[in-house]
Amino acid sequence: MDPLGARSQIVDVQTLHSWDHALKGSDEGPGGKASDQTDGLNGLLGPSPSPFPFRDDLNRKIALFTGDVALLNCTAIVNTSNEMLTDKNPISESIHRHAGPDLRDELLKLKGCRTGEAKMTKGFNLAARFIIHTVGPKYKAKYRTAAESSLYSCYRNVLQIAKEQAMASVAFCVVSTTKRGYPLEDATHIALRTVRRFLETHGQSIEMVVFAVTEMEEPVYRKLLPIYYPRSEEEERSSLPLIPPDIGNAEGEPVVPERQIRIAEKPSTLEDDSEEDTLDSDLGQVGTHAFARMEGDVDKQRRLVLQGQLSEASLQKQHQRNYSRWLCRARAEDLSDIAALKALYQTGVDTCGRTVMVLVGRNIPVTLIDMEKALLYFIHVMDHIAVKEYVMVYFHTLTGEHNHLDSDFLKKLYDIVDPKFKKNLRAFYFVHPTFRSKVSTWFFSTFSVSGLKEKVHHVETLHQLYACILPEQIDIPPFVLEYDARMNGPYHSAHSPGL
């Protein structure tokens, strides 16, 4: 309670005005240009559609707050820090001051965070339940492309955590701190468009995103917000001349032109729906497109695959192309129904500092869902996790026949995923196995896939699991905790009172 009944500094995000509440009928359009000037320019431009059209439903999810992000009462706030999570910037210091000393102890257990990544802790004494820590890039004009990609990853990974944890609201500080040297306006463009694209395709469960800024940062955000979140069709038209040339791909990710070169499976010209295209025009392009020699005869390659004569390198390239197609589908498709099952999520780290992913068997209604979408969701969530060492914890607790994954599905998944999934998986903990599941696992890991058997560990009790992953580093469903306490007795931590 505040001393002497003093008024609380805490600000509930529900009391903030959403972006669609901004003054309508202003005499100026975005960027300070008078509406009569932009109307004249729009007449010259014609009815060119904006890549960021007016959407009132998105505007209602956006709020601009001038003040301390640590004072916001929401599901999660964002902390910007360095790779060791020890940065002393005004935002971090305020968050630490309000959260209390437990936060520093918790951060030590995370063992740092790479640039562009995000990690979550509790909020402790904050009004927010969670803190999502992320590390923005150090900006150098010479390496601008890398900095843009890293900053995009910061915002994207924060939102991904918010979605996976079913968070209702998340408040962003300005991720790029002054000492890291990122130009504020450039950073704001990336922040606004990344959030916009994420809300468009994956943000159904997120009710509000707050941009918490200082008085110095507020004019820049207020100037650029109408570009990405126009509040009317008129403002959308007025913003067209102000849209930067590089707006990223469909996810808002910066596009690097030299990385767009791909060796096509079927050489062709630009897509054209005209029915006048003839077989002769198609055949005329064969062997004349870029990299044709490198590509070789695709039909011959496929025939050699069937005959088992294709080189290992060619097989790997073909596998990579196939995985890339699955990943593109996973990023484009609406997978919110699968995410709502909360069957797969990221938690803390194990005793070796490796990321822990949790799979809850009872939350997978195999007979009721589209298993191909489940496969896409797994790829979507795991792609950025599998780039470094990780472990999987599978809770088989209280699963029924309708929860058991078919071995054919598992084999297909194992065959599709990128080699990094298999290489960086260090352990698979199978918790509360039954005799039948042990037999099935043995057959699958022995005869269906290679290199997995030695990574599978059957764990009978949570106490055994805690020897590898500390209790505070893993979020365990309540029904699993209750089952384990009933079958194996309650777990008593060495730090519990009276021990």
Query: Is residue 119 domain-shared with residue 196, that is, in the same domain?
Result: yes
CATH number of the domain to which 101 belongs: 3.40.220.10
Which carries the bigger pLDDT value, residue 309 or residue 39?
309
Exposed, middle or buried by CB within 10 Å (0-12, 13-18, 19+), for 344? Answer: buried
Report the pLDDT value the prediction gives residue 47, as an integer from 0 to 100.
Answer: 44
Report DSSP state, residue 85. S
**C-alpha span between 80 and 118 (Å, rounded):** 10
User: Per residue in 388-428, pLDDT tens?
Assistant: 999 999 999 999 888 888 777 888 888 898 888 989 999 99
355 SS3 class: strand
CB 366 within 8 A of CB 403: yes
**C-alpha span between 97 and 76 (Å, rounded):** 16
| pLDDT score of 45 more than 70 | no
Query: Is residue 326 domain-shared with residue 378, that is, in the same domain?
Result: no
- Asked whether residue 259 is domain-assigned, the answer is no
| pLDDT score of 343 more than 50 | yes
Query: Is residue 302 domain-shared with residue 353, that is, in the same domain?
Result: no
Dihedral angle sign, alpha carbons of residues 340, 344, 349, 354: negative
Question: For the chain, how many residues are written?
Answer: 499
Query: Is residue 225 domain-shared with residue 310, that is, in the same domain?
Result: no
Query: Is residue 201 domain-shared with residue 309, that is, in the same domain?
Result: no
- Asked whether residue 226 is domain-assigned, the answer is yes
**Last residue within a domain, chosen from 242, 260, 295:** 242
- Asked whether residue 441 is domain-assigned, the answer is yes
pLDDT-derived band at 71, boundaries 50, 70, 90: very high
Query: Is residue 305 domain-shared with residue 378, that is, in the same domain?
Result: no
- Average of per-residue pLDDT across 270-291: 42
Report the pLDDT value the prediction gives residue 288, as an integer from 0 to 100.
Answer: 44
Query: Is residue 344 domain-shared with residue 476, that is, in the same domain?
Result: yes
User: Per residue in 290-315, pLDDT tens?
Assistant: 444 444 455 555 555 555 555 666 66
Average pLDDT, the chain: 82
Report the pLDDT value the prediction gives residue 284, as an integer from 0 to 100.
Answer: 41
- Asked whether residue 144 is domain-assigned, the answer is yes
User: Per residue in 130-182, pLDDT tens?
Assistant: 999 999 999 988 888 889 999 999 999 999 999 999 999 999 999 987 788 89
- Asked whether residue 493 is domain-assigned, the answer is no
Report the pLDDT value the prediction gives residue 257, as an integer from 0 to 100.
Answer: 52
- Average of per-residue pLDDT across 226-234: 94
Which carries the bigger pLDDT value, residue 321 or residue 364?
364
Query: Is residue 297 domain-shared with residue 384, that is, in the same domain?
Result: no
pLDDT-derived band at 34, boundaries 50, 70, 90: very low
| pLDDT score of 235 more than 50 | yes
User: Per residue in 480-491, pLDDT tens?
Assistant: 999 999 999 887
Report the pLDDT value the prediction gives residue 495, as an integer from 0 to 100.
Answer: 43
**Last residue within a domain, chosen from 332, 356, 391:** 332
Q: How many CA within 13 A on the CB side of residue 317?
A: 16
Q: Which of 63, 29, 73, 103 is nearest to 213 (CA)?
A: 63
Query: Is residue 408 domain-shared with residue 315, that is, in the same domain?
Result: no
**C-alpha span between 77 and 68 (Å, rounded):** 11
Tell me, rounded to whole angstroms, the distance of Cα 154 from its chain centroid.
Answer: 9
Which carries the bigger pLDDT value, residue 408 or residue 492?
408
Query: Is residue 323 domain-shared with residue 224, that is, in the same domain?
Result: no
Query: Is residue 217 domain-shared with residue 137, that is, in the same domain?
Result: yes
**Last residue within a domain, chosen from 242, 263, 297:** 242
pLDDT-derived band at 196, boundaries 50, 70, 90: very high
| pLDDT score of 289 more than 70 | no
- Asked whether residue 274 is domain-assigned, the answer is no
How many domains would you assign to the chain?
3
CB 205 within 8 A of CB 198: no
pLDDT-derived band at 22, boundaries 50, 70, 90: low
CATH number of the domain to which 341 belongs: 3.40.525.10
Give the percent of the chain with pLDDT over 90.
52
Tell me the residue type at 330.
A
**C-alpha span between 499 and 485 (Å, rounded):** 19
- Asked whether residue 250 is domain-assigned, the answer is no
Give the percent of the chain with pLDDT over 70.
79
- Average of per-residue pLDDT across 358-372: 91
User: Per residue in 97-126, pLDDT tens?
Assistant: 999 999 999 999 998 999 999 999 999 999
- Asked whether residue 497 is domain-assigned, the answer is no
pLDDT-derived band at 27, boundaries 50, 70, 90: very low
| pLDDT score of 452 more than 50 | yes
| pLDDT score of 222 more than 80 | yes
Q: Residue 292 belongs to what domain range?
A: 284-332
Question: Any residues with CB less than 8 A from the CB of 199 and at least 6 apart, and which?
Answer: 58, 61, 206, 209
Query: Is residue 355 domain-shared with residue 307, that is, in the same domain?
Result: no
Cβ atoms within 10 Å of 114's Cβ, excluding its own: 14
